[in-house]
Structure formats: structure tokens, C-alpha cells
Structure 1
Amino acid sequence: MKKRFWAGLLLAQFLLFFVFSKSVWMISFFESLFEIQKKTHQLLFSWIPFSVGDVLYVILGIFILYTIIKLFKKKERNRAIIKFLFVINVLYFCYQVFWGMLYFQPPILYKLSSQKEPDINKAKILALKYLEKCKASRTMVKEDKNGVFIISDLTSLQLEILQRQKTIPGYISSKKVSSVNSFKPSIFKSVMSFTGILGYYNPFTAEAQYNPQPPATTIPFTSAHESSHQLGFAREQEANFIGYLIGINSTNSDLRYSTEYFTLKSLLRFIIEEDPSFVKSVQKNYSEGMKRDRAFEKSFILKHQSWLDDFFGFTNNLFLKSNQQEGSVTYSYFIDLLLNYENNT
């Protein structure tokens, strides 16, 4: 009887939040609720030096493993299933209230005056523009003994991201900016390096997790991206766009270079199917420092290729599509936003 109750309650939740996702008023309510829980969670967890959210995930993993073991014991099977269904109900409810409903916010693209389809020729012009920007910014950052880009001061970089959130145009975002530094390296960093995951937002603790192991070119922009989730932008490509707005005009050279480099790579990924020769030409014109950074990135990826990369890529793709988003390897929405924003400025 209890199993049926908790299973039925979970189904009722699915239906309830599906109905909520169709209501503009309810989505607005959950946006307001997000601001309250974010502030509360950051006050509770930001001062702790390690990731509380990661610890919760470890406890959840242990619980799932414990439940699986109990399923093989006939006398304890029913109780284990009931406990599992209870935990799943609580987690699903908290996830949807804290975060899940934000995926149904009106797309940022609707806030831009021009909403044109991505144009390859405009993307090429923009790629050349960001190539020159990258070349200039690359001369202003520090290098290691091998001539590869390194971050000069990570704490200053994180504080700069929080400050730059205030400069996002009002017609794009009216979300409340927080000055609380809640960036934390993930305790799963070694596994993440073999999955291709650079960072993630923990909706249960409002912590922005990043992987400190990949090349430094990825870390500043990844941090800006995760801070966009902290602002309340759930869709991945919209978080990329908000991260772009945060970093592109920054006075911090590390953040600006990482943002420009990400933007250039995204444009080239968009262009390559139509004109691979153009992409090769642009890459040949990288500065020597950029070429060293690119070679280091490729070397890191080759060293960390595994079945985990394919598995997490597949599951992440399914997750994104189930939350009204394009797949993880699709960059067209970010390019949509970028090109339309460029038309407005």
C-alpha cells in the first residue's frame, strides 16, 4: 500500500509540475521563489570551504548503492523500495521548486529586437573580429614555462565575474545580482576530466562548481557560465550568452581572453559544416600563444578520452532535450543570441 502511495505521489508531481510549466503566472512565481532560496542557500553554504552540494551527492550515491544491495534481500526489499520512493519524491519536489521550473522561462531571444536566423556570412565576419580580439587579449595574460596561458589570480577573477553581472543590459536581465562568492572546485574533478564536464550548478545549495584540472582557457568562462545559472538562467546556451555578456568587456584580461576564445571557438564550430576551409584558415592565423593554448587543450582531451565522455555526453544530451533545450553539442542557439545581440549594438 505504501509503495503505491509514494509511486502515485511521484506521478502526481510529474503531472502537477507539467501543468505549472504551462502557466506564465506560475513560472513567474518560481522565479521569485528562486531569488529567496538562492539568497538563503548562499548564506548557509557559501562560507564553507568545500562543496556541500558534492557531499550531498556522495551521500545520495551511498544511499542508492545501499538500496540496491537491500533489493537482493527478500525480507528487506519492500522497506528499501518505500525508502527509495520517499527520497525520490523529496528530491524531485525540491529540484523542481528550486530549479527545474526555470527552464520554462521566456527565452532571451524574445527580448532582442531582431530575431533573425543565424547567417553564415555574418558569423564569418564575427569570427574574424574575435580572432583579432583574442590575439590582442592573449598578449596581456600570463604564461607558464611552456608558454601556455595560466590564470594570474582566481579569487580576483571570481569577484570580477560577480561585479560584471551588474553590467548585463536591463532589457536582457532584471534578475537580482548577488555579491556572495559561491564558486567552488568540484570534489569530482578527476572524474569530470574524463567526462568532458567543465562545471555545473548545484540547485540544492546554489554553489557554482568548476573543474580546476582542464586548461586555464576554459576556467574563467566556465565560471562566468555557472554564475549565470546562479542568476537564474537555466538553459545552457542562455547561460553561455549571459557568461559572454559578463566576460566580453571585462577589465580582467584572463576573463576577457577566455570569453573571446570561447566565442571564437563557438563561431568556428557553427561555421565548419558549411565552410571547413574558412575554419582552417582562421586557425592558421591564431597567434603563437593561441596556438600553444589550442595544442595544450587538444593534448588534455586526448589524455582524458574514455567511455565516460561518451556516456555523459549522451545522458547530458537527453537531459537538455527533456528540459526544452537543444542538445549539448548544438551551438546554434548561442550563435542566434550572439548574432542578434551584435545587430542590436
Structure 2
Amino acid sequence: MKISFKDAIAFSIIPQIIIVKWLGKHTDWIEIYYSKGIYPFISKAFRSLFGWVPFSVGDLIYFALILSALYYVIRNFSHIKTHKVAFLRDVAMVLSIVYFTFHFMWGLNYYREPLAVKLELTENKDYQELVNFTKLLIQKTNETQVKITNDSSLAVKVPYTHQQIFDKTLEGYANIKSIHPFLDYTTPSVKTSLFSTGLTYMGYAGYLNPFTNEAQVNGLLPNFRFPIVAGHEIGHQLGYSAENETNFIGYLVTAKNNDVYFQYAAYAYALGYCLNDVRRGDKEIFDELLLNLNPGVKSNFQEMAVFWNSYENPMEPVFKSIFNSFLKANNQTEGIKSYNAVVSLLIAYHKQHPL
């Protein structure tokens, strides 16, 4: 039986999945030939192509594709009902093309060498080390908060526009490359998302568009968190896909910034993750540590909680579940919980590079 071109593309998703999973077992190949080989050229080319545009081209493409798909289904609904197999074949063909494009443009980075290996870090989950590091972060966060406000009871208000934060984030990357050359970042393409309201209701602070290589930051985020997310999404652009690793990169590039507001944002961000891990281990110790936090720092944490709670909706768990499944399908076995795995990276790193 003769197989049509559309059939061939649709069925090609099966060998594609097999090949990707096979390649995923060879992290050294991915690291050398893709993450350090092909991908940097792809990324820089698309950052050059779209980085100068002041709005998100990728968001507009997504919007146009969604409208086109809806228009096609509505217009051809009667035909689809009578040709269900052909329609499903067409859907499979589109998914096959998207799957190939996603992995070629960015997705193979999910299978690259772990960042801990590159940095020669030995991670562990010793609870006492976690508590000690959290105490140090509390001290640094409190000191920086007072340095900014001169009053331990006042919340920090980051006084910059989004563009100023983007510019200062680039300065942070310029600083960090002297310590870690692999974090060298040029030809910037980082923007606020046109769909920031939708992202907020879905519970997302930002994302990297893998098809245009634009780093997108949720424009509704409080400025207290904005610098970290900008650094995080640029980390994705540099080819680091694991969320714990880009959380770490976002922290590192923000903490190494010369700007005191950025340093505060970084320390408070890391502290939040550490306190969560402390609480999971021993609620009494968590309560004791929390007493040492300046009221102004607590106000900033409360600001973030109020922000996310104000956009809480019944569909958010659904979106989180979809993203959780997506992460697990792409070599992040802990799914969304992988964000929290940044803590062991932070502790291991600061053993070598004390705060």
C-alpha cells in the first residue's frame, strides 16, 4: 500500500521519539554536538532576527496559529465529522512537525550535561547544612534590606522600569562571565510577554519561546521578583533547560549584579526556596528561623503571596498539571518539583564560593 507524504510525516513522530530518547542517554553527545555545537548558532541567529523588535514576535505567532486553528475547525467542522481519520492524521502531522522543530530549535538541551557536573559541584541533602545556609541567607537578606531602606520594617521597592531591569540584567551577565565564561550572553532578546495576564492566571512568571528564542517575562510581576525571572529566562536562552539550573543561574547572575536592589532580590529569592525546604523537614526550626526575618523582608514575601493569590483560579491546577507532565516527558523526572531542586545547587556552590 502506498503511503502518502502526509502519512509519512504523521507516522514519523514515532521514530522521532525513539531517537530523542536514545540520544538522551548520551549526554556527552548532546553537550558537545548540540548544546555547545549547533544550538548556540541557532539561538544567536534567532536572537539577532527578533531581539531588536520591541514586542514579542513569538506571542503574536502563537496567537495567529491559535486563531488559524480555530478558524479551520469551525469552517470545516462538517467535513471533519465525516473524515475523522484524515483529520486525526493531519493533527498527528502537525504534532510531528512541532516535535521535530521544538527539539531541533531548543528541546535537546533537556538532555545535556547537568550544570552541577560543569561546575564540579557535589550536591547533598544534609538538613543541618540546609539550616546553616538558610541562617546565612537570612543574615544577608536582612543586611541588604536595611542597606536599602535604613529601616528594618520597610519593604523594598525596586525603583526601575522593566527595560531598566533588562539592561541591568545584561550587566549582571557581563559580570558573571569573568567567573563562569559559559554564561557569556550577547545579542539580547528579552521582553515582557504580550500575554502577561494569561500567564499570571496560569501561574507562570515567564517562559522561553523555543521557536523564536525570545525570553519572555510576565510584565505583571512585582519588581521585587522581576530581575530573577529575567535572569532565569536568559539562562534558558543559553541552553540550560532544567528549571533548577535556570533558577540557579537566575539567582547567580542577579546576586553578582553591582546593583543592591538586584542583590536583595537574589538573596530573598534563594531564601524563599530554602525556607520551604526547612519547613518540610522541621516546622519548629522553620518557625524559629522565621522570627529572625526583618519585618520589611516578610512584607516583600507577603507582596508576592498576595500577587499570586489575587490571580488564583480553578484552571491554574490544570495548567500546572500539563506543565508538570511536559517537564517529566522532557527528562525532568520531578516535574514542577524540579524548581525546588535549586537548593542543593545553591548550598554546594556556596561551599566553593562563600556568600
Task: Mark yes or no: TM-score above 0.5.
Answer: yes
1:25 is matched with which residue? 29
1:165 is matched with which residue? 173
Separation (CA, whole Å) in 2 of partners of 1:227 and 1:280 = 35
Kept in 1: contact 2:215–2:233 (CA 8 A)? yes
Structure 1 position 231 matched with structure 2 position 238: yes
1:120 is matched with which residue? 127
Aligned length: 342
Deviation at 1:237, TM superposition (A): 0.4
Separation (CA, whole Å) in 1 of partners of 2:303 and 2:340 = 26
Identity of aligned residues (%): 25
2:59 is matched with which residue? 54
2:320 is matched with which residue? 313
Deviation at 1:63, TM superposition (A): 3.3
Moved more, 73-82 or 48-57: 73-82
Kept in 1: contact 2:201–2:312 (CA 8 A)? yes
User: What is the aligned counterpart of 1:131 among 134, 138, 151?
Assistant: 138
Q: Which sections of structure 1, spanning at least 5 residues, go unmatched?
A: none
SS of 1:251's equivalent?
coil
Moved more, 209-218 or 221-230: 209-218
Matched AA of 1:254? Y
1:149/1:93 Cα in 2 relative to 1: closer, same or farther (>3 Å)?
same
Kept in 2: contact 1:269–1:331 (CA 8 A)? no
1:303 is matched with which residue? 310
2:68 is matched with which residue? 63
Separation (CA, whole Å) in 2 of partners of 1:230 and 1:200 = 10
2:13 is matched with which residue? 10
Separation (CA, whole Å) in 2 of partners of 1:331 and 1:97 = 24
Kept in 1: contact 2:171–2:257 (CA 8 A)? no
Matched AA of 1:30? Y
Matched AA of 2:157? F
1:110/1:90 Cα in 2 relative to 1: closer, same or farther (>3 Å)?
same
1:195/1:318 Cα in 2 relative to 1: closer, same or farther (>3 Å)?
same
1:308/1:167 Cα in 2 relative to 1: closer, same or farther (>3 Å)?
same
Separation (CA, whole Å) in 1 of partners of 2:212 and 2:149 = 33
1:211 is matched with which residue? 218
Structure 1 position 282 matched with structure 2 position 289: yes
Matched AA of 1:277? E
Kept in 2: contact 1:175–1:232 (CA 8 A)? no
Q: Which sections of structure 2, spanning at least 5 residues, go unmatched?
A: none
Separation (CA, whole Å) in 1 of partners of 2:145 and 2:50 = 35
Kept in 1: contact 2:236–2:246 (CA 8 A)? yes
Structure 1 position 152 matched with structure 2 position 155: no
Kept in 2: contact 1:141–1:150 (CA 8 A)? no
1:82/1:243 Cα in 2 relative to 1: closer, same or farther (>3 Å)?
same
SS of 2:208's equivalent?
strand
Q: After superposition, where does 1:245-264 map in structure 2 within 5 Å?
A: 245-264=252-271
User: What is the aligned counterpart of 2:187 among 174, 180, 190?
Assistant: 180
1:324 is matched with which residue? 331
1:87 is matched with which residue? 94
Separation (CA, whole Å) in 1 of partners of 2:145 and 2:286 = 20
Separation (CA, whole Å) in 2 of partners of 1:183 and 1:302 = 26
Deviation at 1:286, TM superposition (A): 2.3
1:176/1:250 Cα in 2 relative to 1: closer, same or farther (>3 Å)?
closer
Deviation at 1:203, TM superposition (A): 1.3
Residues 77-101 of structure 1: CA deviation (Å, up to 9, x unaligned): 5665454344323222111011111
Separation (CA, whole Å) in 1 of partners of 2:93 and 2:181 = 37
1:89/1:141 Cα in 2 relative to 1: closer, same or farther (>3 Å)?
farther
